[in-house]
Copies of this chain bind each other. A is one copy, B any other.
Amino acid sequence: MREIRRDAAPPPARRRRKDGEARREAILDAGLAVFSSLGLHGASVEGIAERAGLSKTNLLYYFPSKEALYVAVLRRVLAVWLDPLQSLDADSEPAAAFRGYIRAKLTLSRDAPQASRLFCLEIVQGAPLLRPELEGPLRDLVAAKAAIIRGWSAAGRIGPNDPHHLIFSIWAITQHYADFAVQVDAVTGRGLDDPDFFEGVVASTQALILAGLGLH
């Protein structure tokens, strides 16, 4: 064993940094899991540390405070959040673009439900922290996409509609299956992790939105 360790040990500096990064990632993951189910105030540093596999004090070596960790987790979530909307570009065929966007959002709801829920918790509580992000980048991004939708509408490629309400409706429906998963499960006994159910939701949502746009 000792013989193996002899040259298996990487250069200290490099090794340490890599471990540190992995540690931080593990803490962020644990933070996401705990914050999304208990909220900022309901979560305890100890609980997050336990889930991440280290001690409370040790966690506070990586992040100076619970709030700081919370902000870091939230920032990570938001980055993922603004992404899928990009796919609605003017060059696409409208029907295919909406179909793709809906599938992308539902895929995110299936694969990152905790992120969706944390985002939801934060917004519902007034998002004092996210407000600048919402009024800046998000607002601009939505405005750009609304312009594209209006363009399609003016060209007669989709029916008349209110782009803002259209976008909100897609967000609301697709995120509902992550955020209200326990209610969906209580009523139907199923969830997005069930492949048949997932495809059913994709198809239903695509059909609804496309019908609303006068496409079929």
Chain B residues positioned under 8 Å from A40 (CB to CB): 39, 42
Chain B residues positioned under 8 Å from A9 (CB to CB): none
A3 within 8 A of B: no
Chain B residues positioned under 8 Å from A180 (CB to CB): 120, 123-124, 168, 171-172
On whether the beta carbons of B135 and A164 are closer than 8 Å, the reply is no
Q: Which of A171, A186, A207 neighbours the largest number of chain B CB atoms within 10 Å of its CB?
A: A186
A residues bordering B, Cβ < 8 Å? Answer: 37-42, 117, 120-121, 123-127, 131, 134-135, 138-139, 142, 161-162, 164-166, 168-169, 171-173, 175-177, 179-180, 182-184, 186-188, 200-201, 204-205, 207-209, 211-212, 214
Chain B residues positioned under 8 Å from A164 (CB to CB): 187-188
On whether the beta carbons of A39 and B37 are closer than 8 Å, the reply is no
A125: contacting residue among B39, B123, B162, CB under 8 A: B39
Cβ distance A206 to chain B, nearest Cβ, rounded Å: 11
Main secondary structure on chain A at its contact with chain B? helix
For A122, the closest partner residue in chain B by CB is B182
Separation of A72 and B22 alpha carbons in the complex (Å): 44
Nearest first, the 6 A-B pairs at minimum CB distance are A172-B176, A134-B186, A41-B42, A41-B41, A165-B204, A208-B212
Separation of A187 and B133 alpha carbons in the complex (Å): 11
Cβ distance A43 to chain B, nearest Cβ, rounded Å: 8
Chain B residues positioned under 8 Å from A139 (CB to CB): 186-187
Separation of A142 and B186 alpha carbons in the complex (Å): 11
Chain B residues positioned under 8 Å from A42 (CB to CB): 39-42, 125
Separation of A88 and B125 alpha carbons in the complex (Å): 31
